Structure 1
Amino acid sequence: MRARKGAAVMANLVEATSQKQFEEILSKAGSRLTVVHFHAAWAPQCGQMNEVMEELAKEHSSAIFLRLEAEAVPEVSEKYEISSVPTFLFFRAGEKVERLDGAHAAELTAKVRRLAGSGGPGGAAEAPGLEERLKKLVRAAPCMLFMKGSPQEPRCGFSRQLVGLLKEHHVTFSSFDILQDEEVRQGLKTFSNWPTYPQLYVDGELVGGLDIVKELAASGELENICPKEVSLEQRLQAAINRGPVMLFMKGTKEAPRCGFSRQILEILNGTGLDYDTFDILQDEEVRQGLKTFSNWPTYPQLYVRGQLIGGLDIVKELKESGELVSVLRGES
């Protein structure tokens, strides 16, 4: 909700709901930096990054910050190869200039500051002092890891081990590569009174380095103090319960991507009742996981109030028997 509230206040924080609107915003932005957040309502990490976008929009009034629901605009997502959320694309003069995959608040902040400070009228706002910058960085995400390299490519053994521990204990975290910013690298040592890296922060407070995290993991405390990663089962439950009637299909209402999905849409539209859809072509993890979760091997799949109804054949039978509307309303 914070993002929507912010959007009403800040003219440079907007949302697009169609390919046409997305392209119009890019066109009107001209040489201004445009940061596009491909997000999904079911992903809690996207909610966290929306808050980061709000803060960045306040700091960089010359840039445009655009939110786009990846599953709602499949043409755009497919064009830019968006396979997971959150993903951030950076545009200038209508051309993509950079990309960031994942909920890495500190890296997003660093990229925006670097790109907003070049090539556009007005430039970036004056950079805050180092201490203020460090305060923002350590609170950029609920769990922040300052390391050498990235989680995908750690640049030292200690960083590699700490990343491994966090992943093993299913901790959701963002990271900052201190090798990319010498000012942060040196300043954080004094700020935290901790002379080495990696350093782990939770809710803006220093937890410690590798040895401390090892001790917390061994004692079972690590999972209690760090935010937990959302499991596939939790993601599936959230997606299934996103609306009273949920259809998992190939494509969207506007652009179904298979004949079975097209047929079931025609039947559901004929009832006049509201329903939501999920494009399983945009999320391979959900596409494969839901088959096992529901014990139903094909798509489309229809759920009502969190319960599987079935696929196209079942929906056809319900329509022919006159039961479909009452089932969709949860009356039977």
Structure 2
Amino acid sequence: MLLIVNFTWNDKNMAQLQQVTSQSQFDELLKKAGRCLTVVHFQAPWAPQCAMMNDVMSELSKEHTTSSFVTLEAEEVPEVSEKYEISSVPTILFFKGGEKVDRLDGAHAPELSKKVQRLAVSGGPATGEVAPRRDLNERLKELTSAAPCMLFMKGSPQEPRCGFSRTIVGLLKEHSIQFSSFDILSDDEVRQGLKTYSNWPTYPQLYANGELVGGVDIVKELAESGELQNTCPKSLSLEDRLKAVINLGPVMLFMKGNKQEARCGFSRQILELLNGAGVEYDTFDILSDEEVRQGLKSFSNWPTYPQLYVKGELVGGVDIVRELSESGELEAVLRGDS
């Protein structure tokens, strides 16, 4: 069930939500919640989108009485905001057993409702009731080696979402370096895991042949010394690159946008179908890479998006995925059983 609320903010709605004003209060809240779902909205009083999301949370709290719904002014509790890398409001984090299990950036009421429904009922990633995730290090190794030159950044080369990402993209383009990119804002597991995997705590991060080159300062030094083009390998052929991208994960969805924010109706529909199947999958935003966007149409002989692949083989688009879902075959197909 998707819940879309269209009513105005008032103090009565706010009263149904717990308010956190300190780090110690936040820590105590998570401790007491135990294995129950805790939904924390990092907000700001000046942002009308935050008021709307509080309305949605208030309504959800009536339905999910065993879950806790919490508001926290991001700028008033900076220790917590910095710990969880809150860079904009509204941002909503989901906790179970004291651990963060999911994240939602932006004012997306249907997505908030969907995440609460899944996590409150199924228990989400923290309970082990859904399919186990692939080993994270294995996944990160695949991602860092997905192209000869891989950039992990905030946003896309077309729309960088921080100054450092914008700077490093400019340097790579200025020196005619062909590279692929991964938006770390679209996947919090990758965002957090890559810091430990590479022992490099900040973004952006540039990899060459699966090995860390460094961040924007190192790339700037390499550019100034004339070593950047020798450090970054020549690009794969388009066909080899598409094969590598298709095989980034056992289940790969090529769509407009990402799991957190679908940017077309068909992409939104296929996300709902895949989420309902309960099988892990990865996504690739074809709006972030024009070469992949155009090349994959010819490579797969499938002219539209989204496109779903399982173990490197094309399954189809939203209509085929819907048919598989309605026939009860989708989960088996996603697991590669048929």
TM-score band w.r.t. shorter chain: 0.3 to 0.5
| Structure 2 length-normalised TM | 0.40
| Structure 1 length-normalised TM | 0.40
